[in-house]
């Protein structure tokens, strides 16, 4: 844990949740009944969970986070809610298993799932974590610092072609080959260790004309490395379908994304449930081919002017939400297995 002044501050003073009330309002109809369960897949510092527990007194929340420090801070923040809150140290593609264990019902299904994706305020604001290009720190970027490769490991061991691919795909960096070449040249001189060095080398590799717009030119490289280090997109590809299958009929999923790569995955997973799978021309649509989701937002919602003024980090948010309409075959298999295991 950081020993700077920010690290000593309680969680509620260090984080402004994005689109907080909108998320609660979307989740509320599914969480009105006593004993209803929300799985907060990305607990962070617990802001969204706190609002749910305050406003919906019948609800319980299971909070997942891979970051032990986040779990510690959020648990202190939410201690006043007693057993209505349960912290779980896991990666959120384990949502199905976590839901089944804590659902409190024979079917192993929950009433709501929330995902607030991307890097948390805790991770951005603590210089020692290495997520922020504006602060010099060791090149770490792991959300769970107890395991896995660091950003320095990636920079020091990946081949130039693979670095270029990561920058192009995960960072949407137009100059990925140029930046990758610069990164490899620099490591041939000495190993990568610090974020300030990385930001400097990346900036120098971007053509001067391209540096005039779009903010700090390092942000795309930092995003790409963070996604690679934490396997974020692979986790998300597994997590969204698993979350949908963890919902009881009438249950709701709310997802906040912060860049197009995340939003594309979320959009695709929800869209699968919004459309009929019946072959064209059938006189009657079979029940098993009807949509199993109903959209609760028109496309992706963005932050309004008031939200942007209150919380500048909401500038890139895209919020999507859906409601479970009916079971699917996977749903029914999961339900039967849940009953057998109990």
Express each pLDDT in 6-45 by its tens digit: 444 554 555 679 999 999 999 999 999 999 999 999 999 9
- 147, part of any domain: yes
Average pLDDT over residues 144-169: 95
Express each pLDDT in 281-310 by its tens digit: 666 666 666 899 999 999 999 999 999 999
**The domain that contains 201 carries what CATH number?**
1.10.150.170
Average pLDDT over residues 78-102: 96
- 42, part of any domain: yes
The tokens describing 328, both together, are: 């699917």
**Are 254 and 185 found together in one domain?**
no
- 126, part of any domain: no
Q: How far is CA 303 from the centre of its chain?
A: 17
Q: At residue 121, does pLDDT exceed 80?
A: no
Q: pLDDT-derived band of residue 4, with 50, 70 and 90 as boundaries? A: very low
Q: pLDDT-derived band of residue 332, with 50, 70 and 90 as boundaries? A: low
Average pLDDT over residues 166-178: 96
The tokens describing 230, both together, are: 């934490």
Q: How far is CA 40 from CA 7, 18, 154, 177, 300, in A?
A: 23, 14, 30, 38, 20
- 127, part of any domain: no
Q: Is 181 helix (H, G, I), strand (E, B) or coil?
A: helix
**Are 249 and 206 found together in one domain?**
no
Give the C-alpha separation, 51 to 26, whole Å: 13
**Are 115 and 187 found together in one domain?**
no
- 87, part of any domain: yes
**Are 247 and 219 found together in one domain?**
no
pLDDT score of 224: 95
Whether the model clears a pTM of 0.85, i.e. scores above it, the answer is yes
Task: Judge whether 93 is annotated as a binding position.
Answer: no
The Cβ of residue 157 has, within 10 Å, a number of other Cβ atoms equal to: 13
Q: At residue 230, does pLDDT exceed 80?
A: yes
Q: pLDDT-derived band of residue 335, with 50, 70 and 90 as boundaries? A: low
**Are 37 and 88 found together in one domain?**
yes
Task: Judge whether 223 is annotated as a binding position.
Answer: no
**Are 110 and 246 found together in one domain?**
yes
Task: Judge whether 123 is annotated as a binding position.
Answer: yes
**Are 73 and 103 found together in one domain?**
yes
Task: Judge whether 47 is annotated as a binding position.
Answer: yes
Q: Of 209, 230, 251, which closes a domain?
A: 230
**Are 55 and 178 found together in one domain?**
no
Give the C-alpha separation, 192 to 52, whole Å: 43
pLDDT score of 124: 60
Average pLDDT over residues 218-225: 93
**Are 41 and 85 found together in one domain?**
yes
pLDDT score of 120: 64
Number of structural domains (the chain) is: 2
Express each pLDDT in 174-200 by its tens digit: 999 999 999 999 999 999 999 999 999
Average pLDDT over residues 267-293: 80
**Are 117 and 183 found together in one domain?**
no
- 212 vs 270, more confident: 270
pLDDT score of 313: 84
Helix (H) or strand (E) holding 234: helix 232-245
Q: Of 170, 205, 230, which closes a domain?
A: 230
- 130, part of any domain: no
The tokens describing 261, both together, are: 């790569």
**The domain that contains 23 carries what CATH number?**
3.40.50.150
In a 13 Å sphere around the CA of 155, the CA atoms on its Cβ side amount to 31
pLDDT score of 36: 97
Q: Is 279 helix (H, G, I), strand (E, B) or coil?
A: coil
Task: Judge whether 46 is annotated as a binding position.
Answer: yes
Task: Judge whether 214 is annotated as a binding position.
Answer: no
- 222, part of any domain: yes
**Are 261 and 302 found together in one domain?**
yes
Average pLDDT over residues 103-125: 82
**Are 86 and 191 found together in one domain?**
no
Q: Of 230, 259, 294, which closes a domain?
A: 230
Domain that holds residue 116: 5-121+233-341
Q: pLDDT-derived band of residue 203, with 50, 70 and 90 as boundaries? A: very high
Task: Judge whether 104 is annotated as a binding position.
Answer: no
Provide the mean pLDDT of the chain: 88
- 129, part of any domain: no
């Amino acid at each position: 844990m950081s020993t700077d002044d920010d690290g000593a501050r309680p969680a509620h003073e260090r984080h402004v949740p994005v689109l907080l009330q909108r998320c609660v309002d979307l989740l509320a109809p599914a969480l009105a009944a006593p004993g209803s369960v929300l799985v907060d897949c990305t607990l962070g510092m617990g802001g969204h969970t706190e609002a749910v527990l305050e406003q919906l007194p019948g609800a319980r929340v299971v909070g997942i986070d891979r970051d032990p420090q986040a779990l510690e801070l959020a648990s202190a923040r939410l201690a006043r809610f007693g057993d209505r809150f349960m912290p779980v140290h896991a990666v959120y593609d384990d949502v199905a298993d976590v839901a089944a264990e804590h659902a409190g019902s024979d079917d192993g299904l929950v009433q709501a799932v929330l995902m607030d994706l991307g890097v948390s305020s805790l991770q951005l604001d603590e210089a020692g974590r290495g997520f922020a290009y504006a602060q010099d720190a060791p090149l770490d970027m792991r959300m769970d610092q107890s395991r896995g490769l660091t950003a320095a490991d990636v920079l020091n061991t990946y081949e130039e072609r693979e670095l270029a691919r990561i920058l192009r795909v995960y960072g949407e960096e137009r100059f990925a080959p140029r930046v990758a070449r610069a990164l490899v040249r620099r490591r041939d001189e000495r190993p990568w260790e610090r974020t300030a060095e990385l930001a400097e080398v990346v900036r120098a590799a971007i053509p001067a004309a391209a540096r005039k717009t779009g903010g700090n030119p390092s942000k795309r490289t930092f995003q790409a490395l963070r996604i690679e280090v934490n396997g974020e997109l692979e986790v998300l590809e597994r997590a969204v379908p698993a979350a949908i299958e963890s919902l009881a009929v009438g249950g709701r999923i709310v997802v906040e994304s912060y860049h197009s790569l995340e939003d594309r995955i979320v959009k695709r997973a929800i869209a699968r449930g919004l459309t009929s799978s019946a072959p064209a021309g059938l006189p009657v649509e079979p029940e098993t081919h009807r949509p199993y989701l109903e959209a609760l937002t028109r496309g992706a919602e963005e932050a309004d002017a008031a939200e942007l003024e209150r919380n500048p980090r909401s500038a890139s948010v895209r919020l999507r939400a859906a409601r479970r309409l009916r079971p699917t075959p996977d749903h029914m298999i999961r339900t039967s297995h849940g009953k057998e295991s109990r």
